[in-house]
Amino acid sequence: MIELKQITKQYLGQAMPAVENLSLSIPEGEICVLVGPSGCGKSTILRMINRMIEPTSGTVTIKGEDVSSTDSDQLRMGIGYVIQQIGLLPHRTIAENIAIVPRLYKWPKERIAKRVDELIVMMGLDLEKTRGKYPSQLSGGQMQRVGVARAMAVDPPIMLMDEPFGAVDPIARNHLQDELLRLQKEIKKTIVFVTHDINEAIKMGDNIAIFDAGKLVQFGTPEEILTNPKNSFVENFIGHDRVVKKLNLYRADDAMQPVGCLVKESDLQSAGQRMKDAGTEVAFLLNEVGQRLGHLTFAEFEAGKGDLEGLRKKVLRTEKAFVQISTSLPDALSLLLEFDSDYLGILKGDELCGMLSFKDIRKHVYRKDGE
Amino acid sequence: MSWENFRFALFEKAPEALFEHSMIVVITITIAILISVPLGVLLTRPKYKGLGLVTLNVLNVLQAIPGLAIIALALPILGLGMKPAVVALLFQSLLPIVRNTIAGLIGVSPDVKEAACGMGMSQRRILLEVEIPLAMPIILSGIRTATVYVVSIGTLAALIGAGGLGNLIMGGLALFRPEYLLVGAGLGAIMAITLERSLSYLERRITPPGMRVS
Amino acid sequence: MTLKDFLNFLNKNTETIIEYTGNHFTLVLSAVIISLVIWVPVGLLLTKSDKWAARVLGLANTIFCIPSLSMFAILVTIPAFGLGRKSALFALILYAMMPLIRSVYDGAKNVDRSVIEAARGMGMSTARILREILVPLGMPIIFAGFRVTVVMTTGIAAIATYIGERNLGRFISEGLIRSNTPMMVTGALIISVIAIGLDTILGLIEKSIVPKGLRINR
């Protein structure tokens, strides 16, 4: 989709080039994150795509067409552009701000109005309350939503985002990230996303390109980068908790195993035998009407054999140790610790579809590491 | 003081003087705006940025020349009448407008310009739709300063035959007629204060609503 | 008019020039000193009350709008003032109100609140805060106001020739009446040179008193 070929950008009076001999191919319909410490050239690269900066040498092509042969204003009208400082026009209302690019395209008024309303709603803002307001009347998070809406106004296939959520508070940032990911599932834009925050990169990126001093150090999926950091720079940049970060990439269903043994409350005394028969170390207990009560390990059963009331109490202590299938692994891990439990029951809707233990998580991460 | 003299000054002399004075002010300020605003715009374009400082310094020096001196210097060079007066006043009314135009345009947040550029707005469009509207209140405040100045020094234009309220005052001083002094001086003061007030009202009105908060 | 006329005039009238210049400067100097004594404390006081600040600044602004010839003319008709130095001085002090009060007020208000907060938090006394923070940080703005006042006063003082002051403005007024171009132009040039010179010198001082840390990006 976007192809950078042997791009070098040398600023006058600077010893080192800001970007050096970079070749990068950005796939269509995915989020590609450019990440690196400040001054590594990532913003420069982004801005060379819409010709806010011209490269010293090399070419940028979009869908095979060299951008330097296009009219720069026309080019930019067709590419969404979001910056950290947002840059909403302070003398225009929110609706007018979103309408800027459609107006450049000379859309008819009704079409613009309809699209503006659609975008305000899509961004999760209150239509009636927001439309006529001025930027200074909004919070930082709301302003950035408008910034994103403005960039998407004419539904451009490409969006360039330069630290778009860098200036908002952490809670709003999280929301904005989640919403962009949710939107992206529907709109499938080619998004080039610049950040200096590796966690944001891992969360947002289908692919991550890590830069240092104007050079591309590693390009790959978050999983690849976390699993096989290319050198010590990448290792340091992603941090020594990279395995924990890697957990973020997975959900409970990635690591869970099937439930081996379901036991009715009335059959509690035979649970040990059933576990043996099923070749599993844990049994989930259901009451007479099929409600989940909790689980019991083989070791617990053996230790408390005979004391049925004690066993039942043990089972009820894990009453809450169930999570939805979409839970991220770090959350699942945290819950395992919180419930002081060996297993979590994994639910799909209201149905028990699997279980997850410390060992499963370890095995999953280990397996990926060994690949 | 006599009522008769006062009446004569106010009803016989003042209308013409007031008209002449208004003409001086309107013509001078109109020309000053037509020169200064484009000049200010030009001097903030990247190509001509270097010239900006030089121009401002020259205008700064011109501005320091006392009004009486600039009127006196205009006479031998330009002669008598309204035209020389307008030219002399023009020199000094350029600075506040040019300076404020530059300040206003430079003051437009680079983020806003960057975003506008990134959306594909042409440089011309950015100037007309973003920079000038945002700089307008500051430009207008420069016009206000220049206007008050021209009304004030305009009273001295009578010395080189341009007429205006200065005629009444000078006449009053020469003959020591307090009635003439009061009418001429009073109207001059009222004119300056009224223009100042109206322009600052306009300035507030023209400030984009989104920027009035804070 | 030629350069010779000009030099001739300078030569013949050296004594008068010196006398007029002296008169001009005593008027300007006394006006500026009295103005500083009155308006600087007023400007500082106004920082205590926004309501009064708005009122007084509004008044100063209005006075500042009044054409100088009008101001002199009005004062002359008041018997207590009349023709002469009293009227001239009073007018000049009134004009100085706007730039001086405004700059002192802005200078004091412009100092970042958090800096004062931090200073207070470190245990600096009010006097110390005034001396070590408000004055150095606010001084450039206050000095700019002082500069405007001096240059403006020099210019307006020339107009006071029409109410009987015998200063550099007199060459212009006399020259106009007698159609004596060399006299008029010389007067205008001398006074212009003085005004520009004062502005330039004060401008240089203004630049030099900006604390180093604030000079970046200027």
Q: Encode pLDDT of A245-292 as tens digits.
A: 888 888 888 889 998 888 888 888 888 888 888 888 899 988 888 888
ipTM > 0.95, yes or no: no
Among A243-252, B152-161, C141-150, C152-161, which is the least confidently predicted range? A243-252
Interface test with A, best of B109, B119, B211, B213 (most A CBs within 10 A): B119
- Taking CA atoms, A194 is separated from A6, B71, B169, C70, in Å, by 20, 61, 69, 64
Q: Which residues contact C207 (CB under 8 A, 6 or more apart)?
A: none
- pLDDT computed for residue C157 by the predictor: 93
Instruction: Report chain B residues whose CB lies below 8 A from the CB of C182.
Output: none
- pLDDT computed for residue A368 by the predictor: 53
Q: For the segment A114-141, what is each residue's pLDDT rounded down to a tens digit?
A: 999 999 999 889 999 999 999 988 998 8
CB contact under 8 A, A104 and B208: no
Predicted confidence (pLDDT) at residue B25 exceeds the cutoff of 90 = yes
Give B51→chain A minimum CA distance, Å.
22
Find the residue in C nearest to B192 (Cα): C65
Instruction: Report chain B residues whose CB lies below 8 A from the CB of C184.
Output: 72, 75-76
Q: Which chains touch B (3 or more CB pairs under 8 A)?
A: A, C
* Torsion B4-B10-B15-B19 (CA) sign: positive
The pLDDT mean for chain C works out to: 88
Q: For the segment A51-66, what is each residue's pLDDT rounded down to a tens digit?
A: 999 999 999 999 999 9
Q: Which chains touch C (3 or more CB pairs under 8 A)?
A: B
- Report if residue C169 sits inside a domain: yes
3-state DSSP percent of chain A in helix, strand and coil, to 5? 45, 25, 30
Average pLDDT of the residues in A331-352: 89
- Report if residue C78 sits inside a domain: yes
Rounded to an integer, what distance in angstroms lies between the CA atom of residue B130 and that of residue B40? 16
- Report if residue C110 sits inside a domain: yes
Here the CATH number for the domain that contains residue C127 is 1.10.3720.10
The pLDDT mean for chain B works out to: 89
Residue A9 dihedral angles phi and psi, to the nearest 5°:
-125, 115
Predicted confidence (pLDDT) at residue A143 exceeds the cutoff of 60 = yes
Q: How many domains does chain B have?
A: 1
Q: How many domains does chain C have?
A: 1
Rounded to an integer, what distance in angstroms lies between the CA atom of residue A61 and that of residue A53? 14
Number of residues written out for chain B? 214
Give the pLDDT band of residue A314 (cuts 50, 70, 90).
confident
Here the CATH number for the domain that contains residue B141 is 1.10.3720.10
Instruction: Report chain A residues whose CB lies below 8 A from the CB of B211.
Output: 90-91, 134, 136
- Taking CA atoms, C80 is separated from B183, C31, C157, C164, in Å, by 20, 18, 20, 16
Range of the domain at C158: 3-211
Q: Which residues contact C120 (CB under 8 A, 6 or more apart)?
A: C129
- Report if residue B213 sits inside a domain: no
Does C181 touch chain B if contact means CB atoms closer than 8 Å?
yes
CB contact under 8 A, C188 and B154: no
Share of chain B above pLDDT 70, in %: 98
Share of chain A above pLDDT 90, in %: 54
Three-class DSSP category at C1: coil
> Bigger pLDDT: B175 or A78?
A78
Rounded to an integer, what distance in angstroms lies between the CA atom of residue A189 and that of residue A334? 34
- Report if residue C175 sits inside a domain: yes
- Report if residue B12 sits inside a domain: yes
Predicted confidence (pLDDT) at residue C215 exceeds the cutoff of 70 = no
Rounded to an integer, what distance in angstroms lies between the CA atom of residue A264 and that of residue A277? 16
Give the pLDDT band of residue C216 (cuts 50, 70, 90).
low
Q: State the pTM of this model.
A: 0.81
Give the pLDDT band of residue B5 (cuts 50, 70, 90).
confident
Average pLDDT of the residues in C90-95: 94
Residues of B in CB contact (< 8 Å) with A are 109, 111-122, 125, 130, 133-134, 208-211, 213-214
Give the pLDDT band of residue A80 (cuts 50, 70, 90).
very high
Give the pLDDT band of residue C154 (cuts 50, 70, 90).
very high
C21 within 8 A of C161, measured Cβ to Cβ: no
- pLDDT computed for residue A371 by the predictor: 47
Q: Which chains touch A (3 or more CB pairs under 8 A)?
A: B
- Report if residue B119 sits inside a domain: yes
- Report if residue B212 sits inside a domain: no
DSSP secondary structure string, A44-74?
HHHHHHTTSS--SEEEEEETTEEGGGS-HHH
Share of chain C above pLDDT 70, in %: 97
CB contact under 8 A, C76 and B173: yes
- pLDDT computed for residue C37 by the predictor: 95
Nearest to A101 among B119, B130, B208 (CB): B119
The pLDDT mean for chain A works out to: 90
- pLDDT computed for residue C99 by the predictor: 94
Give the pLDDT band of residue A165 (cuts 50, 70, 90).
very high
Predicted confidence (pLDDT) at residue C217 exceeds the cutoff of 60 = no
Interface test with B, best of A52, A100, A144 (most B CBs within 10 A): A100
- Report if residue C217 sits inside a domain: no
Give the pLDDT band of residue C218 (cuts 50, 70, 90).
very low
Q: Can you tell me which residue has the tokens 């009008």?
A: C70
Give the pairing type, strands A158-162 and A79-83. Answer: parallel
3-state secondary structure A265-291: HHHHHHHHHHHHHHCCCEEEEECCCCC
C171 within 8 A of C184, measured Cβ to Cβ: yes
Three-class DSSP category at A145: helix
Instruction: Report chain A residues whose CB lies below 8 A from the CB of B116.
Output: 87, 89, 100
Range of the domain at B119: 3-207
